[in-house]
Structure 1
Amino acid sequence: MDVDSRMTTESDSDSDAAAAAAAHGGSAGGSGSGSETSSSSAPSTPGTPGTPGAAGPRPAPGYTVVNAVIDKKEDGPGCRCGHTLTAVPAVGEDGTPGYIGPRLILFGGATALEGNSATPPSSAGSAGIRLAGATADVHCYDVSSNKWSRLTPLGEPPSPRAAHVATAVGTMVVIQGGIGPAGLSAEDLHVLDLTQQRARWHRVVVQGPGPGPRYGHVMALVGQRFLLSIGGNDGKRPLADVWALDTAAKPYEWRKLEPEGEGPPPCMYATASARSDGLLLLCGGRDANSVPLSSAYGLAKHRDGRWEWAIAPGVSPSPRYQHAAVFVNARLHVSGGALGGGRMVEDSSSVAVLDTAAGVWCDTKSVVTTPRTGRFSADAAGGDAAVELTRRCRHAAAAVNDLIFIYGGLRGGVLLDDLLVAEDLAAAETTNAANHAAASAAATNLQVGRAPGKYAYNDERTRQTTMESGPDGTVVLGTPVAPPVNGDIYTDISPENAVMQGQRRLSKGVDYLVEASAAEAEAISATLAAVKARQVNGCGGC
């Protein structure tokens, strides 16, 4: 998978000007180790460390290694960093012909290091390390069978790249940007369609000017409708611009947004994750002075079409960049990250959760009330295997239900090839309660003669995005369905259903973001209380 020509430097100490130019000459050599084949045991799902109290947010969960099945060496992704990992929902109904279970799609990344990679970053930083061996290969992890496979999609693939972005739109993975052996990748949108048994690459037709080539940026699908591209580096400097593509409006066109409120500074290597109700959270990053950021910002769309930034709640345990983040319900799970100068986020802050329902950050021990800085030495993990697992940067994460997966990355000048998993027990409790409530509602619908699923999640929410082909073979995205907003399920695609309801001002900052999920938290608490009451009264099967 190695590429003969060298990639542009992406080291922690790279200059913005150097980041745009492709480096040439030299030989690429891989580093890192790991077994290519593993046992067939299913992924384990450990509980959170420590014992949370009867009330209050749960701490961040602990991770364990997944012993995934790899039949052939080429089926496994191997050692890499700067890749993307995207969760794709199931296709069809379980037990029926043609059913395809939930999958994780891994694309691209750097598979080798150049330079003095044998020198520990604690003593020499990572200034002498360059990423190499950019790829455009696609690997698939089947969550149900716990098995890796390499995909060979039909169609023309994107060019090899790393530090790109990817997000799911239905059963398609949209990929954009990044940097490869020849420098910055084009700004074209590439789509990997996974609806059929054989995956296929397509190119999305987008009219007019767009974000332009860049790397280290973020992209997320907001409200199951708007593709947002934010920040990154255009080869000259970090950026803070926000671009939106409405997947429900054809022909497709990028539109530069001018959100109100206080937004993030120009930065790269941040993360952006979208909550189910349409709130996007941008976390961390590295600013124009190469300073790691600890701030988090929420971006939401008003009913009147305005977009607005707000500072997210809580006290972040540590600044970081080149980390990974993913939402599970109202909890944003953040892992790993770099601090610059060869240092990585260590200690209990290596894993953190922003609980947007409670408005607080938690690390693996407790709620964070003050920044936990100044403890970032190479041996800060102190022999804690769970902490050491997540001490990495340039990795990727994705979530399936209440499970959070992490793959690969870079630690101590060594590329990683492990798959980690953790379970969000708070989400698991919510899911169990919701399933109980859904079963009760379904029984009620049947009793009164309603069609089960007319407004049910599995009817409207799992409708697959359709593909339409243009005369030149290019592809356009089908119209997605708007998500639930504040607990209400809608079946149309009006803009109001993809935004936060009510005439709230994002400028309220913390209060706004706490309020935004208060209804969700209240509903969850009420459902859990009802379930526990039934169990106490001896009718847990009611």
Structure 2
Amino acid sequence: MYWTVHLEGGPRRVNHAAVVVEDKIFSFGGYCTGDNYRERRPMDIHVLNTSNFRWHALPLSKQNDPDAACVPYQRYGHTAVAYGDKIFVWGGRNDEAACNVLFCFDTSTLQWSCPEVTGMIPGARDGHSACVINHCMYVFGGFEEEIDRFSQDVHALDFRTMHWNYIITQGEPPSYRDFHSATALEGRMYIFGGRGDLNGPYHSQEEVYCSDIMYLDTHTGRWHRPVTSGDIPIGRRSHSAFVYKGNLYIFGGYNGLHDEHFNDLYRFSSEHNEWQLLKPLGKPPSKRRRQACLLVGDKVFLFGGTSPFPVPNPHGIQDYDIDGNHQGLEAKLVDHSDLHVLDFAPTLHTLCLLVVIQNHLEELLLPEDIKWEIRAMTTNNRISRPVNNTG
């Protein structure tokens, strides 16, 4: 494993939702500090070409367009899943309200639609999770807007009939939570992390961060809590999860009790119920939360999120603590526009390119196709806006 690419200048986004269709990554909406999230402006879409690491933004829908009603408004905390060549966006909120309308984006025509659905539609929420298992989108948890509480319910949308079902499960479910991850693996929906509360469904500011991993067997509808071993990660929220060659991976996130961001990478074996902390080669991304991680072939594409960034303390304290940290600095949050690539199986060709890049070797006599690859791996994108900091 090797962190091979780090480029700046992509979409500056936090709490966005992204999916892979063929070899392209589609990123929908998200939060960017300084923007207005009270207006109902159309959701933006950014597309990454995973071959040359170039981003481009699709044209925004015009609000006076007759089809504008079928375009989701800009939001954060939503989910997106791919089913065939279509992408389904559900949930999320702006600063005024949450949403429970289902939107469909056709990657062939680049058009939005609002599919007609039947059944028991879940209540509007954000911070939930969604994954696709056997033609169904399973939705778990989140924070429900209308009843002002966390959820531990499971809903499923059958893409063949566009019918919503409330899933009555057996066994003890995961605790009420939001900003967890749900990952599809072998007919199971694995739930990890998230933010809960000591008072169950209600938000009392007494946060809980669970380090257990649980799964729903979608064939039986029963929850399971396996006994795990190894390097069990600390509980966290707003992390990323993905599957590679039958194993589940967790990256980054945030624990509010410790006020700590992470950039660690864990692998979970569902066969042995064992965690392992991994140490990829190369320079890792900075510690962060609310980023996106997408697997394409043997590569993981990580982008966006937010990280603590030291700025001068307004009180002017100039001292060092026992660990040598400068107390004259305090942490603000900075939104990222960067792109990182983790290659699980770098070829000798890729490793040779890295030697040229990292050692600033002369490129004059290299073949043109090699020069092109080096430019792609080292040339920043140019679509992001200036950085804004927030507390």
TM-score (norm 2): 0.59
Name the counterpart of 1:243. Answer: 103
Q: In the TM superposition, what are the counterparts of 1:275-424 in structure 2 within 5 Å?
A: 275=133, 277-288=134-145, 289-302=147-160, 306-315=161-170, 316-339=173-196, 340=203, 341-346=205-210, 350-365=212-227, 389-411=233-255, 412=257, 413-424=259-270
Q: Could you give the per-residue CA deviations for residues 250-284 of structure 1, whole angstroms, max 9, x where no partner exists?
A: 2x221123311112111110011112x32111111
In the alignment, residue 188 of structure 2 is paired with which amino acid? R
SS in structure 2 opposite 1:344?
A: strand
Match of 2:363 in 1: none
Measure how far apart 1:215 and its partner are. 0.6
**Rounded Cα–Cα distance in structure 1 between residues aligned with 2:34 and 2:22:** 31
1:295 CA displacement = 0.4
Match of residue 157 from structure 1: 10
Question: Aligned pair 1:191/2:47, yes or no?
Answer: yes
Pick one of 2, 19, 30 that aligns with 1:178: 30
Separation in 2, partners of 1:172, 1:399: 18
Match of 1:219 among 66, 74, 80: 80
CA 1:157–1:317: 2 relative to 1, 3 Å: closer
Q: By percentage of residues, which structure has more strand?
A: 2
| Structure-2 separation of matches of 1:258 and 1:284 | 23
* Aligned equivalent of 2:122, options 251, 256, 264: 264
Q: 1:237 to 1:189 in 2, by over 3 A?
A: same
Aligned length: 252
Relative to 1, partners in 2 of residues 1:292 and 1:279: Cα closer, same or farther, differing over 3 Å?
A: same
Structure 1 residues 342 and 147 mapped into 2: Cα distance closer, same or farther (>3 Å)? farther
1:195-210 to 2 correspondences below 5 Å: 196=51, 198-205=52-59, 208-209=67-68, 210=71
State how far apart, in whole Å, the 1-side matches of 2:137 and 2:113 are: 17
Question: Is the contact between residue 184 and residue 214 of structure 1 (CA under 8 Å) also seen in structure 2?
Answer: no
Distance 2:144 2:10 in 1: 32
* CA RMSD, 1 decimal: 2.6
How far 1:312 sits from its partner (Å)?
2.5
Structure 1, unpaired ranges of 5+: 1-145, 367-383, 428-461, 463-542
**Structure 1 residue identity aligned to 2:224:** C
Distance 1:287 1:232 in 2: 10
Q: Could you say which structure has the higher helix fraction?
A: 1
For the 8 Å contact 1:313–1:356, the answer to whether it is kept is: no
CA distance in 2, matches of 1:177, 1:273: 18
Cα displacement (A) at 1:246: 2.5
2-structure distance, mates of 1:157, 1:269: 23
Post-superposition offset of 1:180: 1.2
Q: CA deviation at 1:184?
A: 5.2
SS in 2 for 1:405: strand
Paired with 2:191 and 2:174, the residues of 1 have a C-alpha distance of 11
Distance 2:150 2:122 in 1: 12
Distance 1:426 1:247 in 2: 38
d(CA) in 1 for partners of 2:192, 2:36: 27
Please report how far the alpha carbon of residue 358 of structure 1 lies from its aligned counterpart in structure 2 after TM superposition: 2.8
Structure 2: how far apart are the matches of 1:426 and 1:414? 29
Over 3 Å counting, the alpha-carbon distance change for 1:421 and 1:307 in structure 2 is same
Q: Letter of the aligned partner of 1:179 in structure 2?
A: Y
Residues 365 and 385 (structure 1), Cα distance of their counterparts in 2 relative to 1, 3 Å cut: closer
Show the counterpart of 1:228: 88
Equivalent residue, structure 2, for 1:168: 20
| 8 Å Cα contact 1:313-1:360 kept in structure 2 | no
Q: Structure 1 CA distance, aligned partners of 2:164 and 2:54?
A: 37
User: Which has the higher Rg, Structure 1 or Structure 2?
Assistant: 1
Supply the AA of the counterpart residue of 2:181.
A
Which segment drifts farther, 212-221 or 312-321? 312-321
TM-score where L is the length of structure 1 = 0.43
Sequence identity percentage? 22
How big is each residue's C-alpha offset from its partner over 1:59-98, in whole Å with a ceiling of 9 and x where there is no partner?
A: xxxxxxxxxxxxxxxxxxxxxxxxxxxxxxxxxxxxxxxx
Shift of the 176–260 alpha-carbon distance from structure 1 to 2, 3 Å rule, reads same
Give the structure 2 partner of residue 5 of structure 1: none
In structure 2, relative to structure 1, the CA distance for the partners of 1:184 and 1:308 (3 Å cut) is farther
How far residue 420 of structure 1 moved from its aligned partner, in angstroms, is 1.0
CA contact (8 A) 2:137 2:159 kept: no
Distance, in Å, in 2 between the alignment partners of 1:229 and 1:420 is: 28
- C-alpha separation between the residues in 2 aligned to 1:426 and 1:246? 39
The answer to whether the Cα contact below 8 Å between 1:176 and 1:188 also exists between their aligned partners in 2 is: yes
- Judge conservation of contact 2:210–2:236 (CA < 8 Å) in 1: no
- Provide the rounded CA distance (Å) in 2 between the counterparts of 1:152 and 1:395: 21
The one-letter code matched in structure 2 to 1:423 is S
Contact 2:43 2:60 in 1 (8 A): no
